[in-house]
Structure 1
Amino acid sequence: MSHDNVRVNAAWHRVDRHVLDELREHSVANLGDALDRLNIVDGGIAPIWTGAKAVGTALPVLTVAGDNKAVIAALEHIRPGDILVINAFGYDGRAIVGDNLAQRFAVYGAVGAVVDGYVRDSAIIEELGVPVFARGLTPAGPFKNGPGSIGEPVAIGGVVVNPGDIVAADHDGVIVIPPHRAEEALTAVKEIVARETELDAEVRALRSSLA
């Protein structure tokens, strides 16, 4: 397939893997608190299977509603540790990603995909264990005409995602962390976890005293 009408920007950097590894230890809810409860994608974008979780470097894709030509073109630009972030305009009439593309994401090293749009083949994607987050499911397949772009800023769920941003997603939803705020987020989230541990201990003590 020719990708002549898909624009590509490759002039951006990925964060060190150890940063992703550290962030992977924390929930999206706690990371959201650590970032002043901002940069959280709206709750309409959710995991399509229970237990899906991913932390990666954003590879943004902009595609026409109901068309996944740019998503297919993005395969050759995936690097290990990337998470595809696809602005499909929230369109519910066509699935932008199915089991075949999800498998290819994983083969090329992507840790998952976040789609502001709809997907299909959820049972197979769950069986494959590929973390995919989307607005919903439809069996209708996409067109493949373009145009689109890869590696340029996109908006998903009310949040701007730049190439190289860190995206964390779990059962609660999705958050976007700019690389320059990663260390700040890690410091703050550790304090939050410590405080939550104290609160949990207080509840256990209260439960014991009332037993």
Structure 2
Amino acid sequence: MIEEPPKLQIKSDIRRPKQAQIDAFRNIPTGFLCDAMEGQGALGMAIQPVCTDGSLPLHAHGPALVADNGPAEILATMGALHIAQPGDIIVAAVHGHKNCSAAGDRFCGMMKNKGVAAFVTDGQMRDYPGIVAAGLPAWCAGLSPNSPYSNGPGKVGFGATLAGRHVETGDIIVADHDGVVVVPFDRIDAVIAQLTAIQELEVSLDAKVQGGYCEMPAVEAMLADGSAKMM
């Protein structure tokens, strides 16, 4: 018989971005980041803000602390809370399991007390009024009042795949009303380097559209060179 793993494994040498790298993502829209990563980077759009009426902040950024739980499990998330540092975003993977909460109001309150910046999960959450009262921004796959278990096994500080994208501890997470984007650790500086140019282009195009601009020069060029035709 294969030996069973420990109930909980916590990585001791967790890599973290520098504070200046983290600060570079403050108030950056998720769309800008996807533009800087060939149009990609977002978790599946089943992951949405738990609250959209303004009762909770709709922007969060920080380094991922990944809690890889099994379905209907919370033990790894408990381990992540135990080692979390202020500004971390706890990313709780439950392998897409539905009909069970991955965290509730008290857990959100404890994360807020620990200084966690936000909570992201591919599972559901519960105790909505208490979540709002706790004040911790959160992104999830909906709500369910069912309770999770804490039997393990679980892993903290490694990586996990959730909502169609792999997230490693130390990656940058940026979340807003549009969704959640993952900036891989090794691409942080490259993405930061592109943000100024992307912001300038966005501001310029916004001004043109507000001024009445509605042209499609790319389509005009395709019609001109024959790669598109009027039928």
Partner amino acid for 1:94? Answer: C
Alignment-derived partner of residue 27 in structure 2: 25
Alignment-derived partner of residue 194 in structure 1: 200
Larger Rg: 2
Alignment-derived partner of residue 112 in structure 2: 106
Which consecutive residues of structure 1, in runs of 5 or more, have no partner in the other structure?
Answer: none
Partner amino acid for 2:207? Answer: A
TM-fit CA distance, 1:137: 0.4
Which digits, 9 at most, give the CA deviation of each residue in 1:156-205, with x for residues without a partner?
11111111111111110111112232222122222111111111211232
1:47 pairs with 2:73:
no
Percent identity between matched residues is 30
Contact 2:66/2:159 (8 A) holds in 1: yes
Secondary structure of the equivalent of 2:24? helix
C-alpha distance in structure 2 between counterparts of 1:133 and 1:205, whole Å: 36
Alignment-derived partner of residue 78 in structure 1: 84
C-alpha distance in structure 2 between counterparts of 1:204 and 1:161, whole Å: 38
C-alpha distance in structure 1 between counterparts of 2:21 and 2:78, whole Å: 28
C-alpha distance in structure 1 between counterparts of 2:189 and 2:23, whole Å: 12
Which digits, 9 at most, give the CA deviation of each residue in 1:11-67, with x for residues without a partner?
122112222222113101111111112221110111101243211111111112112
Partner amino acid for 2:92? Answer: I
1:136 pairs with 2:138:
no
Which consecutive residues of structure 2, in runs of 5 or more, have no partner in the other structure?
Answer: 1-5, 214-231
Partner amino acid for 1:151? Answer: G
Alignment-derived partner of residue 123 in structure 2: 117
Partner amino acid for 1:13? Answer: R
TM-fit CA distance, 1:206: 2.0
Secondary structure of the equivalent of 1:206? coil
Secondary structure of the equivalent of 2:212? helix
Alignment-derived partner of residue 66 in structure 1: 72
Contact 1:33/1:189 (8 A) holds in 2: no
1:173 pairs with 2:179:
yes
> What value does the CA root-mean-square deviation take over the aligned residues?
1.5
Secondary structure of the equivalent of 1:100? helix
Alignment-derived partner of residue 149 in structure 1: 155
Secondary structure of the equivalent of 1:130? coil
1:159 pairs with 2:165:
yes
TM-score, length-scaled by structure 1: 0.91
TM-score, length-scaled by structure 2: 0.84
Contact 2:106/2:130 (8 A) holds in 1: no
Which digits, 9 at most, give the CA deviation of each residue in 1:43-95, with x for residues without a partner?
01111012432111111111121121221122211011111111101111210
Secondary structure of the equivalent of 1:65? coil
The aligned length equals 204
Contact 2:62/2:88 (8 A) holds in 1: yes
